[in-house]
């Protein structure tokens, strides 16, 4: 970071609407927020706020990610840390005992993705769809995983088909036991969602860390009989249901919710689409 780069970043923030928008994005980091939500929260006309967000994006403080008709904006935490660390580099007249720990936190901390595990019995349909879609929508901020209590051995072909039809990657997807995620060497999960009622009622392994869990039950598209077109349609419906739930999940201010409020919100999302 040099002085000219710092001036560019600070100039981008030298506007009440842009500063308010950026502070809002910081509160919701690492999740993205739609431009319309930012405009409403800051009391700014949407077209005007879109221009402000584009200004912040050009400066390097904000990232934009189009999801369907909406553009989601998120704060670039690496750039923000770099700017704050540069501003603090001479703080306290070089008193390392005061400033160095904070500077190290700002410059060395990395945005690590949230790990999200989806569980069902066979790990061939619903959980596979959720794993792939989570990674796709997460854009590096969230990483999806899936497993089953009694894995079938391979993903359902209709699950892979509907993912590919929607431009969602399927590389590396496989049916696997949930025991893979219970060991000390397994990636530590932040969130665990059961997507079938059977898995929710089984005794799960003890997961490393303290992941937040919720039940997001869904009908099994693999149980649908009939023609291939009817089966494919069932998987498309399930993918749409998962998509709506994940969009709601990604819109939560995860860093600001207490544990009880977060559990309640996740439970509400799990009821989406139920009669």
- Name the residue ranges covered by the structural domains of the chain: 3-108, 114-270
Q: Tell me, what's the pLDDT at 86?
A: 81
Is 3.30.1780.10 the CATH number for 114-270? no
CB atoms within 10 A of CB 38: 25
Q: Which residues pair with 19 in a beta bridge?
A: none
pTM: 0.62
Q: Tell me, what's the pLDDT at 110?
A: 44
CATH number for 3-108: choose from 2.40.10.10, 1.10.10.10, 3.30.1060.10, 1.10.3720.10.
1.10.10.10
pLDDT along the chain (275 residues), means of 10: 91 94 83 84 90 94 84 87 79 63 51 88 96 92 93 95 95 94 86 85 72 92 95 96 92 75 90 68
CB atoms within 10 A of CB 189: 20
Residue 30: closest CA among 153, 142, 169, 147: 142
Q: Tell me, what's the pLDDT at 97?
A: 61
Structure tokens at 27: 């509160």
Point out the residues that are catalytic.
120, 196, 204
Dump the DSSP string for 56-68: HHHHTSEEEEEET
């Amino acid at each position: 970071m040099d002085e000219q780069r710092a001036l560019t970043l600070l100039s981008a923030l030298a506007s009440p609407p842009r500063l308010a928008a950026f502070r809002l994005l910081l509160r919701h980091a690492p999740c993205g927020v739609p431009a319309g939500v930012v405009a409403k929260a800051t009391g700014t006309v949407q077209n005007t706020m879109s221009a402000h967000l584009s200004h912040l994006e050009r400066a390097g403080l904000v990232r934009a990610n189009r999801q369907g008709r909406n553009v989601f904006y998120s704060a670039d935490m690496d750039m923000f840390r770099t700017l704050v660390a540069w501003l603090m580099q001479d703080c306290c007249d070089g008193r390392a005992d005061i400033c160095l720990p904070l500077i190290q936190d700002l410059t060395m901390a990395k945005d690590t993705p949230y790990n999200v595990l989806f569980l069902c019995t066979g790990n061939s349909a619903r959980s596979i769809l959720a794993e792939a879609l989570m990674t796709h929508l997460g854009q590096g901020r969230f990483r999806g995983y899936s497993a089953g209590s009694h894995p079938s051995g391979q993903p359902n072909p209709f699950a892979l088909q509907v993912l590919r039809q929607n431009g969602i990657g399927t590389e590396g997807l496989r049916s696997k036991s949930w025991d893979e995620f219970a060991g000390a060497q397994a990636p530590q999960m932040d969130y665990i969602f059961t997507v079938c009622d059977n898995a929710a009622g089984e005794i799960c392994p003890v997961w490393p860390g303290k992941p937040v869990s919720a039940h997001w039950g869904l009908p099994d598209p693999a149980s649908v009989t009939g023609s291939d077109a009817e089966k494919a349609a069932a998987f498309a419906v399930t993918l749409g249901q998962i998509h709506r739930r994940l969009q709601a999940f990604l819109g939560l201010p995860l860093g600001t919710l207490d544990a009880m409020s977060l559990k309640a919100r996740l439970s509400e999302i799990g009821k989406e689409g139920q009669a």
